[in-house]
Homo-oligomer: A and B are copies of this chain.
């Protein structure tokens, strides 16, 4: 398997002003393509450091992908560093210059003189055209490596890599693309997932990985081997069996109809059933509605949300003022009443409600910070559930919104549609 190294250039990365998301994005792409990623490095905008880093990585990997340092300003030093590191004088590229000029002309602005610098490229390189910004990229062979240089701005770098670099990689390297199955779960801790999968027999050549993207936890099965679809599907089936109802979708094994984030899967299920939802939120403060309406086309199944923060707002929705005075806003009774009231007012199939203490203030011994009541009102009646969440305000709000969505999912009782032929756990 060919090896790859990722080099990020720029003071803003090295000083921590920006988190280097390019490196992780490129690493995932390169692994999917069939490379063994052997390291990342970040180097500041200083010529000697850049030259030394380029010489080093060009001797260590088959492919080096470098981002940053292609802009028009004085601290953009990549082309100069390549010239110095590999003895490639800079040549003025008239095609690159014309592309930069055309870009400025298209928006009706004069090209600043500084941008001329971006057309000076190392001798003998392959130009990588940039249809998403002014900075052209370039590629060349040096040391034992082939090196690709791309801008640091993600919205330019990503399409350039996918459209302009990847085709060349298939020509240059003998790649066996990887296959990836992702089992997405909600409402189960990563440690618990690892425990349940600990003694799962893994076929040779399949790697088991975990990734948390709150509030979801993902299990990843990755392979570059000639493993049959049947083996991979069977493995996914075993993972699903061990994780049970916390699995909400499986991606990558005949999952044409599956996949997507938790709100996306929930919305698709409601749409398929011709049902709708409305929400009444207290402690989540709009997060639940925001998560649901973040899904494109949500208007087909999301009707209305109420953020009933003040007690008066709860009363206006339909909660009894006497009840609020008697049991307090954070209570099963109020959660149920919120869910039933929003369902009745909106005419939705389901009414979903949250009320709790997000903190940092407002906790008591009886109801500590993190105490949340969730309720769901539907055609089968109303159910409520008390949960206790860890973490700061942001985390409590986020997990409470996920918990409410999970209450609805379990009511809808959808099992992951894939992998097919799943035997009952």
Contact = CB atoms under 8 A, between A and B. Distances in A.
A423 interface: no
> A interface, how many residues as a size bin?
35 or more
A40 B281 CA distance: 43
Given A16-B26, A17-B211, A285-B292, 16 more contacts: A14-B27, A14-B38, A15-B31, A16-B23, A16-B27, A16-B28, A17-B24, A20-B20, A284-B290, A285-B289, A286-B287, A286-B307, A289-B289, A304-B308, A304-B313, A305-B306
Interface string A123-151: 00000000000000000000000000000
A346 B39 contact: no
A397 interface: yes
A57 to B, nearest CB: 10
B42 A39 contact: yes
Nearest to A283: B293
Interface string A268-308: 00000000000101001111111111101111001111111
Given A14-B37, A16-B28, A31-B16, A293 B286 contact: yes
The 5 closest A-B pairs by CB, nearest first: A285-B293, A286-B289, A305-B307, A16-B27, A286-B290
Contacts of A279: 307
A394 interface: yes
Nearest to A30: B16
A21 B23 contact: no
A64 to B, nearest CB: 14
A309 interface: yes
B209 A394 contact: no
A47 B397 CA distance: 41
Contact of A305 (B17, B305, B312): B305
Nearest to A278: B313
A209 B17 CA distance: 8
A44 interface: yes
B28 A38 contact: no
Contacts of A306: 304-307
A294 B17 contact: no
Given A39-B44, A305-B309, A316-B345, A290 B285 contact: yes
A395 to B, nearest CB: 11
A130 to B, nearest CB: 17
Contacts of A361: 296-297
A2 interface: no
Contact of A290 (B17, B43, B287): B287
Contacts of A310: 299, 303-304, 346
21 contacts: A13-B24, A13-B40, A15-B31, A15-B209, A16-B28, A16-B29, A19-B19, A19-B20, A19-B23, A20-B24, A38-B49, A39-B49, A40-B41, A286-B291, A286-B307, A289-B289, A294-B393, A299-B309, A303-B309, A303-B310, A304-B308
